């Protein structure tokens, strides 16, 4: 087993919370009443005059997202090579600030949403701890999904899962550059994803005797970290969001949200199975397992 059961359950719990909060954020950007009037999904504008990408054909809208992932990966690999963590931290700062601002603006006015995002981002980058790390992660992907869900249809969402899953396997098992990226992020103390720190036992010293008293064994401990990458949360959420927006035209708002929430549950089960069966100190491509869980959730929805 890769981690202790307590840590696994905590990580899966954070993952589920991220998915549910993300779906809630996406749903807030859907103008449900107007959508019922027009017969098509109508989206509320993003804050701060930001614009969503424009695509003429939603069936191929996954292509620019995949291209953006590849370009982003190449840029970070370049930063790894030249060993410039400062540039990575600056880039990461603005990315977190923008996505958090979009997420918070789903519930708050733009100005307080920006101020809250700015403060949390500062704490995340310059006073990092597990609390600020995971709180920001819970909201970031809802903001990201609010940008990309509107431009994807169901076919494009399926294709995105397939391509990212294949890429994840190649990046971890073949080229192993995803491992280098993860190590670089941890070394720079700016990691994109969920993180749980805990102490693990590494062995015990030999028992000693002092007179007639036998001293107890002393077990050594060291800190360990359980992580889940940002893409592993973002892409399943985008898929669930696309399914939810399709349901919005067929059913009530609450019913659509609850049905779409099945996908995070089945995806979390897939993650749980992966973490329980994974081996310690090994990296695994999570996306193939998470994608399978998401697809199973979708077919369960079809049966309801």
Instruction: State the pTM of this model.
Output: 0.88
* Mean per-residue pLDDT, 48-63: 88
**Residue 7 above 90 pLDDT?**
no
pLDDT value of residue 204: 46
- pLDDT score for 16: 96
The mean pLDDT value for 56-74 works out to 89
Strand partners, 193: 229
Please give the Cα distance from 253 to 262 (Å, whole number): 15
Between 207 and 271, whose confidence is greater? Answer: 271
* CA distance linking residue 110 with residue 92, whole number of Å: 21
Could you say which DSSP state residue 43 is in?
B
Distance, in Å, from the CA atom of 74 to the CA atom of 77, rounded to the nearest integer, reads 5
What is the chain's mean pLDDT, rounded?
86
Considering only CA atoms, which of 189, 186, 79 is closest in space to residue 123?
189
Beta pairing, strands 219-229 & 209-210? unpaired
What tens digit of pLDDT does each residue of 202-258 get? 444 444 444 444 433 444 445 577 778 888 999 999 999 999 999 998 888 899 999
Above pLDDT 90, what percent of the chain? 52
pLDDT, tens digit, 9 for 90 and up, residues 101-121 = 999 999 999 999 999 999 999
Which residues share a beta bridge with 197? 225
User: Residues, the chain, total?
Assistant: 304
Which residue, 50, 129, 121, 67, is CA-closest to 89? 121
Q: Of 158, 170, 178, which is closest to residue 291 (Cα–Cα)?
A: 158
- Look at the block and give the residue holding tokens 């292509």: 63
pLDDT at residue number 24: 96
């Amino acid at each position: 087993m890769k981690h202790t059961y307590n840590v696994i359950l905590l990580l899966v719990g954070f993952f589920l919370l991220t998915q549910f909060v993300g779906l809630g954020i996406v749903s807030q950007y859907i103008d449900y009443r107007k959508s019922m009037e027009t017969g098509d999904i109508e989206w509320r504008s993003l804050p701060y005059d930001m614009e969503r990408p424009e695509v003429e054909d939603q069936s191929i809208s996954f292509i620019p997202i995949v291209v953006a992932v590849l370009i982003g990966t190449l840029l970070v690999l370049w930063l790894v090579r030249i060993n410039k963590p400062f540039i990575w931290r600056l880039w990461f700062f603005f990315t977190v600030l923008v996505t958090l601002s979009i997420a918070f603006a789903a519930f708050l006015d733009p100005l307080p949403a920006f101020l809250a995002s700015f403060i949390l981002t500062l704490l995340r980058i310059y006073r990092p701890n597990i609390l600020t790390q995971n709180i920001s992660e819970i909201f970031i992907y809802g903001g990201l999904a609010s940008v990309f869900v509107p431009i994807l249809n169901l076919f494009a969402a399926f294709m995105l899962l397939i391509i990212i899953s294949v890429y994840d396997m190649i990046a971890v098992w073949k080229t192993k550059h995803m491992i280098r990226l993860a190590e670089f992020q941890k070394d720079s103390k700016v990691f994109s994803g969920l993180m749980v720190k805990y102490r693990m036992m590494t062995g015990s010293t030999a028992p000693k005797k002092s007179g007639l008293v036998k001293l107890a064994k002393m077990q050594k401990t060291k800190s360990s970290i359980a992580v889940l990458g940002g893409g592993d949360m973002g892409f399943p959420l985008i898929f669930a969001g696309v399914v939810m927006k399709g349901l919005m035209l067929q059913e009530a708002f609450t019913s659509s949200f609850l049905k779409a929430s099945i996908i995070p549950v089945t995806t979390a089960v897939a993650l749980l199975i992966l973490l329980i069966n994974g081996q310690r100190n090994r990296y695994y491509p999570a996306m193939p397992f998470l994608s399978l869980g998401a697809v199973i959730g979708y077919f369960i929805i079809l049966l309801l």
